[in-house]
Amino acid sequence: MKTVVSGIRSTGNLHLGNYYGALRNFIRMQHENRCFFFIADYHSLTTHPNPKDLYPNVKNVLTEYLAAGLDPEVSTIFIQSDVPEVTELYLMLNMHAYLGELSKTVSFKEKARKQPENVNAGLLTYPTLMAADILLHNPDEVPVGKDQEQHLEMTRRFARRFNNFYGVEYFKEPVAYSDGTQMIKVPGLDGSGKMGKSEGNCIYLIDDAKTIQKKVMRALTDQGPTEPNSVKPDYIENLFTIMQIVSAPETVAFFDEKWNTCEIRYGDMKKQLAADIIEAVNPIRERILEINANPAILHKAVTLGKEKARESAGKTIREVREIMGFRNF
């Protein structure tokens, strides 16, 4: 059984892209692997969030992940700051992380450009904290998107450097998780290639039926095809792609046929698409409301997660201290 670790950003509501592109894989993989999923609240400090936002942000993300089906009895789901061992490993790894390599990281350069008034050391050492998150549980694989590839590469480098420096074979060099299935990319309803928070084109798991209907009915369409079997423009292709993700294959085939024979009625297609999205999202939404009404569910989940994560983290820290030469008096 493989060990898998992944961190989740602690801001914002989950949208269909997050769900079908990432979360559903987490939910699937938790049954076949030893999984650690945590909410990266220490990482969020790089942007100096208002203290009053910190807790609701973490709570919100945790609620949505549990509601969607991450099971605290199966996976270890925890809050990063509940396992302070990570800060010790971060300190140790930082002693072997160099200014040259940290300042060349793409994410650092981007952040430094975006917030020139706050280029703090936490931003510079973001990759070491991420490496500490990962190496703390010595996993085989890390399920992350393409944008995190460089951080994962640095994690491997830090692991290798530690092993070489201390003459041990201690840390594994974790690779990106892959279960062999095609990654799903959810397009936007506005004709853009990607549904995303910064794109402002999202359907959220917390959206109610009316909101979803409104968003789908507003999606960009046109007069319809004039030639049979013509190529679909991107904004129409996107509707079909979303339909392939949420609807039954017969439904997609039905509208595809209508497209090919120039008989498509976008109003009907959108009504069907909205209904199918609602059906997919509604059970999650109901579960979110249920958890909101019963916060003991969260308490139980993170208490269990903290205990399991600290056990694994404690073992690593004891062993790393030993390797580095720390001794008890």
Would you give the binding string for ligand TRP spanning residues 22-51, x where CB under 6 A is met?
Answer: ------------------x--x--------
Among 14, 23, 130, 159, binds ligand TRP (CB under 6 A): 130
End-to-end CA distance of the chain: 38
Q: Is 194 a catalytic residue?
A: yes
Nearest CB to ligand TRP, comparing residues 10 and 201: 10
Sequence-distant (≥ 6) Cβ neighbours of residue 112 within 8 angstroms: 119, 123
User: Among 104, 146, 172, 197, which one carries the catalytic annotation?
Assistant: 197
Do 65 and 115 contact (CB within 8 A), yes or no? no
Residue 114 annotated among the catalytic residues of the structure: no
Q: Any idea how long the chain is?
A: 329
- By the rule CB under 6 A, 17 interacts with ligand ADP: yes
Buried b (16+ CB within 10 A) or exposed e, 263-284: ebebeebbebbbbbbbebbeeb
Closer CB to ligand TRP, 68 or 274, in the complex: 68
- Pick what 197 binds: ligand TRP, ligand ADP, none; C-beta below 5 to 8 Å, kind-dependent: ligand ADP
User: How many amino acids of this chain bind ligand TRP (CB under 6 A)?
Assistant: 13
Q: Which of 178, 181, 182, 130 is nearest to 2 (CA)?
A: 178
CA distance 258 to 238: 16
Residue 15 or 287: which CB sits closer to ligand TRP?
15
Nearest one of 7, 8, 4 to 29, comparing CA atoms? 4
6 binds ligand TRP (CB under 6 A): yes
Tell which one of 24, 197, 232, 271 touches ligand ADP (CB under 6 A): 197
Q: Cα 93 to chain center, whole Å?
A: 24
Tokens standing for 141? Answer: 């694989």
Closer residue to ligand ADP (CB): 56 or 145? 145
295 touches ligand ADP by CB under 6 A: no
Q: Is 52 a catalytic residue?
A: no
Among 18, 33, 44, 148, binds ligand TRP (CB under 6 A): 148
Q: Pick the binder of ligand ADP from 21, 127, 225, 305 (CB under 6 A).
A: 21
Instruction: Select from 4, 7, 10, 22 the one that contacts ligand ADP (CB under 6 A).
Output: 22
**DSSP track, 135-200:** HTT--SEE---GGGHHHHHHHHHHHHHHHHHHT---S---EE---SSPPP-PPPTTS-S---TTTT
What letter represents residue 329's amino acid? F
* Residue pair 44/57 in contact by the 8 Å Cβ criterion: yes
Check 52, 59, 104, 111 and give the catalytic one: 111
Report the partner that residue 72 touches, choosing among ligand TRP, ligand ADP, none (CB closer than 5 to 8 A by kind).
none
- Considering the rule CB under 6 A, would residue 301 count as an interface residue with ligand TRP? no
- Residue 124 near residue 102 (C-beta atoms within 8 A): yes
Please, which of residues 131-160 interact with ligand ADP by CB under 6 A? 145
How would you class 313 by CB atoms within 10 Å of its CB: exposed for 0-12, middle for 13-18, buried for 19 or more?
A: buried
Which of these, 241, 143, 244, lies nearest to 194 by C-alpha position? 241
Closer by beta carbon to ligand ADP, 31 or else 185: 185
Among 4, 70, 144, 216, indicate the residue that binds ligand TRP (CB under 6 A).
144
Query: Which residues in this chain contact ligand TRP in the complex, by CB under 6 A?
Result: 5-7, 9, 40, 43, 130, 133-134, 142, 144, 148, 151
Interface with ligand ADP by CB under 6 A: which residues?
Answer: 9, 12, 17-18, 21-22, 145, 184-186, 194-197
